[in-house]
Copies of this chain bind each other. A is one copy, B any other.
Amino acid sequence: MADLDLMRELTTTADTKIVLLVIDGLGGLPREPGGPTELEFAKTPNLDQLAREGMIGLSIPIARGIAPGSGPGHLALFGYDPVKYLIGRGVLESVGIGLELTPDDVAARGNFCTVDESLVITDRRAGRIPTDKCIELVKQLRPIKLPDVEVIVEPVQDYRFALILRGKGLSDRLSETDPQKTGLKPLPVKAHSPEAQHTADLANEWVARAREVLKNEHPANMVTLRGWAKEPGLHKFADVYKLRSAAIAVYPMYKGLASLVGMTLVQGLHDLDEEVAALKANWASYDFFFFHYKYADSRGEDGDFEAKAAEIEKVDAAIPRVLELKPDVLIVTGDHSTPAVWKAHSWHPVPTLLYAPGLTRRNDVSGFGETECLKGALGQFPATDLMPMALAYARRQIKFGA
């Protein structure tokens, strides 16, 4: 029941370090009845030892039976009620590539796509054009001007770009133009409320002009726009938790999420080795480190049980280098489960480990895995409770009431 106002009141500063290590999609399922999950199948001697010396349990990202997207899954880990605080995809894409949004901005996620001569979509991702091509096309789109608003277009990756309209009185109550399958034309942007009509008109004009610019290109001869969103104005970690916080992540979306809660983004990271090195290099400058590792989720989405287990083993092998830094609190968890047999984000509770030398109770567990977590001292708990616990175990909270 993390309550950000309560946290703001109770948190204090201390000379302690917290690492929140998120193995994306960590939770899994057995591939045969009675068998191990990916995490249980993986050889994880370091995580197993931490489980025995610390405490384990299962976190529930949103609610029982609800499979989280990456945004809500991470917001919950950061202590923000993910049902209360919603973040549109457009905002995620934008902040993830380093754009700083203002309260005047409306952001959309753009896709380059392929249409035929009658404007029917034949490929929603324009043959997954390379990022270089995306950058070139975005340069062609930048000269498009709209009345009274600033237009910002930035390449993201492959066929994806971000579009931002900046101006007074804009609304994100807009429909998406991607019909979600081929064989249909892009949809017009519609206003979900009267105040949004002006923004919808601007968006439709921009799409029409973009089509003009792109019409002789191939395969990227059209665009779709999705995930309209305004910057959500979330409380910042420095304010509610009194933490100097840094995000160590490779993928734009996770950096974007971290930036929305005020974390400093460590830029230019490409793999786990660089992430661990960045943790060490920034150790003295921050109190809290959000450390994100993506590929367990990727392999889970691929349906590749053993490859997912291998990704978890890579993280396990990096644990000693994290422990050398002597964190006061190390949490290892996921933003959701991605069982290989399900090939998608699932609703299953997420194995979670809290290691805080000297302040944890004993749990009689043999290692870190979904079944052992059922016996762990943390029990099953809402993911939003993790940050209050992290702060308490890091000696950064005063008691509530006299």
Q: What residue of chain B has the Cβ atom nearest to residue A89's Cβ?
A: B402
Which chain A residues numbered 202 to 240 have a C-beta less than 8 Å away from chain B? 227
Contact with B along A381-402 (1 / 0, CB 8 A): 1000101111111000111111
Contact of A196 with B by CB under 8 A: no
Flag if B341 contacts A71 (CB, 8 Å): no
Q: Which segment of A125-133, A292-300, A319-327, A369-377 sits at the interface?
A: A369-377
Q: Which residue of B lies closest to A393 (CB)?
A: B65
Decide: A64 and B385 in contact? CB cutoff 8 A: yes
Binds B, one of A29-37, A157-165, A177-185, A243-251: A29-37
A146 within 8 A of B: no
When all copies of this chain in the complex are counted, the total is 2
Question: What residues of B have a CB within 8 angstroms of the CB of A64 in the complex?
Answer: 1, 381, 385, 388-389
**Interface residue? A69 (CB, 8 A):** yes
> Which residue of chain B lies nearest to A73 when distances are taken between CB atoms in the complex?
B401
Contact A389 B10 (CB under 8 A): no
Q: Are A6 and B83 in contact (CB under 8 A)?
A: yes
- In the bound complex, residues from chain B placing their C-beta under 8 Å from that of A341 are 358-359
CA distance A1 to B362 in the complex (A): 28
**Cβ A361 vs Cβ B37 within 8 A:** yes
Q: Which of A136-144, A187-195, A343-351 lies at the binding interface?
A: A343-351
- Tell me the chain A residues, 333-358 only, with Cβ under 8 Å from chain B: 341-342, 344-348, 357-358
Most buried by B among A69, A227, A361, A390: A361
Known A-B contacts A67-B397, A371-B361, A399-B68; A347 and B389 likewise in contact (beta carbons under 8 Å): yes
A22 at the interface (CB under 8 A from B): no
> A273 within 8 Å of B by Cβ?
no
**CB < 8 Å neighbour of A401 from B35, B69, B385:** B69
User: Contact: A53 with B68, CB < 8 Å?
Assistant: no
Return the chain B residue nearest A90 by Cβ: B402
Q: A165 CB to closest chain B CB, in angstroms?
A: 20
For A1-31 the 0/1 string (1 means CB < 8 A from B) is: 1110010001000000000000000000110
- Report the bound CA distance from A344 to B395 in whole Å: 12
Which residues of A40-73 are within 8 A (CB) of B?
Answer: 53, 58, 62-73
Question: Cβ of A98 < 8 Å from any Cβ of B?
Answer: no
Distance of A53 Cα from B30 Cα, bound (Å): 12
B-chain residues with CB within 8 Å of residue A65 when the two chains form the complex? 385, 387-393, 397
What B residues does A400 contact at CB under 8 A?
Answer: 62, 66-69, 72, 82-83
User: Known interface pairs A63-B1, A385-B65, A392-B67. Does A82 touch B362 (Cβ–Cβ under 8 Å)?
Assistant: no
- Is A264 part of the binding interface, using a Cβ–Cβ cutoff of 8 Å? no
Quote the shortest CB–CB distance from A157 to chain B (angstroms): 15
Answer yes or no: A379 CB below 8 A from chain B CBs: yes
Complex Cα–Cα for A393 and B72 (A): 20
CB-defined contacts of A381 to chain B, threshold 8 Å: 64, 380
Which residue on B lies nearest to A27, using beta carbons? Answer: B361
- A92 proximal to B (CB < 8 A): yes
With a cutoff of 8 Å between Cβ atoms, the chain B residues found around residue A401 in the complex are 68-73, 82, 86-87
Knowing A65-B385, A388-B65, say if A363 contacts B359 (CB, 8 Å): no
Can you offer 10 A-B residue contacts whose CB atoms are under 8 A? A6-B63, A33-B357, A37-B361, A64-B381, A65-B389, A65-B390, A68-B400, A86-B401, A347-B389, A379-B380
